[in-house]
Amino acid sequence: MIRKFGRLVPLIIVLIVSLIGFGILYVSNDGFDTAALQNMAALLVLILASYSLILFASFGDEYLFLIVSMIFAIGIISLLRLDETAAHNQVMFFYVGMVGFFVVYTVYRRLSIWNDPRIVRIYIALSVFLFVVTKAFGSEVYGAKNWIDLGPITIQPSEIIKILFILALSGLYTNYDIKTTKKARRRDAISQKRQLVIMCVAYLYIGFLLLQKEWGSALLYFLIYFTLQYVLGKGFKFLAINAVLAAGGAYVGMMKVSHIQERIAIWRDPFGYFDPDKSRQIVQTLYAMASGGITGTGLTLGSPRYIPLVKNDFIFAAICEEFGMVGGVAVIMLFMLFVYRGIRISLRATRPFNKAVSLGISAMFCYQTFIIIGGVIKFIPMTGITLPFISAGGSSLASCFVSLAILQAISSKEGELSDVI
């Protein structure tokens, strides 16, 4: 028990890093008002308290929250540097997120209903309902009809639907286990018909996203489905069908959809693109990252405000400008560690449904981070996805915390005692 105190050291590092960041910003801002200072202090205390709870009360894998708190600390400092109000909101969302985290953790852990076939139908029904509501009442922002404006707050339903998607697919893939005949337990008991049903459900979701012109999310959902199909499905037939459909879809998108054509053109030659308003985002990003160089310009010495939408999707560019390539690589490594932990949890789980869900969530974080960072560094065309835990945005943060809670719950349910290292 005592030796566990040594495990607090990494969290202390997170706190020191946060204090240094706050310190620099304090000095450069000529100080903050007391409300902001109280907020920051409360944030650090909350992080310390939550981590201690997870560590000492054995709430499951301790590394998940540790990595997330470092990622979040970097995010908060970048956001504070960009926009104090946004940072304040982000901290508020963090409080709500942590409450939600413990609630979801407890609820998910206690009940075993999550893979019940009736509940799986509810997931799908709820998702369709949310999609329809978004289509009907949503407001169009930056070309995608993705937000619901509820007055003071705006929600991005696709963030909620992401989790329902993973839960629904996992349930469908592993539900044959509910019949406890010996035959049904064999992995290749999943039938062709079932895989076809799952494919239709997956494309239902993807179809809705394409209707909403959410190309990035559609790609993300497709990759998650493809991963689950690869791991949980039988045979290569469905993988081949999906690969062909994806290639076909991408081709049609490139030829027919002007929105996509635009983005690809900007990606191929941002500096020469005829409409500077559209290409400004990636151009400014490239300038910013170049001026950052390897070690960065230093916190507060860069000029990230030139980048459009820098608070949400392109915050990684701001991090690269001020903390340099080394800072950007550090963030990427943190996400890689996080995904590693997630996949490990999936390997150690014994119940197929939990295995599938934790795999789906790990895949979600993995692909999401890849797609957004890839878009920021012009590795792939830009998409409208958010960077988990760092991008400013209540819906994004909320869905990340809920996913984290589910992952944490699975890790604690299956315990430290599996044979997988």
Partner 1 sequence: MGYLRFLSKGVISIQDLGILALVPRLFSIIFVLLIYIFIVRIIKMVSSDIAVMMKKKSSGNVGTYLKLLNIRSSLDFPISESYEIAADVKIGRDRTCEIRIDDPFLSSVHAEILCREDACYIHDLNSTNGTTLNGTPLRGDPIELINGDKISFGQLSFIYITDKSEKK
- In the complex, the smallest distance separating the C-beta of residue 62 from partner 1, rounded to whole angstroms, is 9
Q: Among residues 199 and 332, whose Cβ is nearest to partner 1?
A: 332
Specify the length of the chain in residues: 421
What's the CA gap between 224 and 222, in Å, rounded?
5
Is there a contact between 302 and 322 (Cβ–Cβ < 8 Å)? yes
Binding interface with partner 1 (CB under 8 A): 7, 9-10, 13-14, 16-17, 20-21, 23-24, 27-30, 63, 66-67, 70, 74, 112, 295-301, 322-324, 326-327, 330, 333-334, 337, 350-352, 412-417, 419, 421
With both helix axes pointing from N to C terminus, report the angle between 117-137 and 192-211 in degrees, rounded to the nearest 10: 20
Is there a contact between 402 and 104 (Cβ–Cβ < 8 Å)? yes
Q: Among residues 107 and 196, whose Cβ is nearest to partner 1?
A: 107
What's the CA gap between 222 and 216, in Å, rounded?
10
Is there a contact between 380 and 263 (Cβ–Cβ < 8 Å)? no
Half-sphere exposure of 136 (CA within 13 A, CB side): 6
- In the complex, the smallest distance separating the C-beta of residue 84 from partner 1, rounded to whole angstroms, is 12
- In the complex, the smallest distance separating the C-beta of residue 298 from partner 1, rounded to whole angstroms, is 3
- In the complex, the smallest distance separating the C-beta of residue 141 from partner 1, rounded to whole angstroms, is 32
- In the complex, the smallest distance separating the C-beta of residue 339 from partner 1, rounded to whole angstroms, is 13
Q: Among residues 204 and 337, whose Cβ is nearest to partner 1?
A: 337
- In the complex, the smallest distance separating the C-beta of residue 415 from partner 1, rounded to whole angstroms, is 2
What's the CA gap between 88 and 34, in Å, rounded?
12
Taking residue 144's Cβ as centre, other Cβ atoms within 10 Å add up to 20
What's the CA gap between 124 and 420, in Å, rounded?
33
Q: Among residues 22 and 273, whose Cβ is nearest to partner 1?
A: 22
Residue 351: φ, ψ to 5°:
-85, 130
What's the CA gap between 310 and 319, in Å, rounded?
10
- In the complex, the smallest distance separating the C-beta of residue 130 from partner 1, rounded to whole angstroms, is 32
Taking residue 9's Cβ as centre, other Cβ atoms within 10 Å add up to 8
- In the complex, the smallest distance separating the C-beta of residue 326 from partner 1, rounded to whole angstroms, is 5
Q: Among residues 117 and 298, whose Cβ is nearest to partner 1?
A: 298
Both tokens of 350, joined, read 């014994």
Candidates 203, 201, 198, 193; CA nearest to 245 is 203
Q: Among residues 9 and 136, whose Cβ is nearest to partner 1?
A: 9
Is there a contact between 360 and 288 (Cβ–Cβ < 8 Å)? no
Is there a contact between 179 and 185 (Cβ–Cβ < 8 Å)? no
Place of tokens 């690589």: 329
Q: Among residues 81 and 263, whose Cβ is nearest to partner 1?
A: 81
Q: Among residues 17 and 82, whose Cβ is nearest to partner 1?
A: 17
- In the complex, the smallest distance separating the C-beta of residue 10 from partner 1, rounded to whole angstroms, is 5
Q: Among residues 214 and 322, whose Cβ is nearest to partner 1?
A: 322
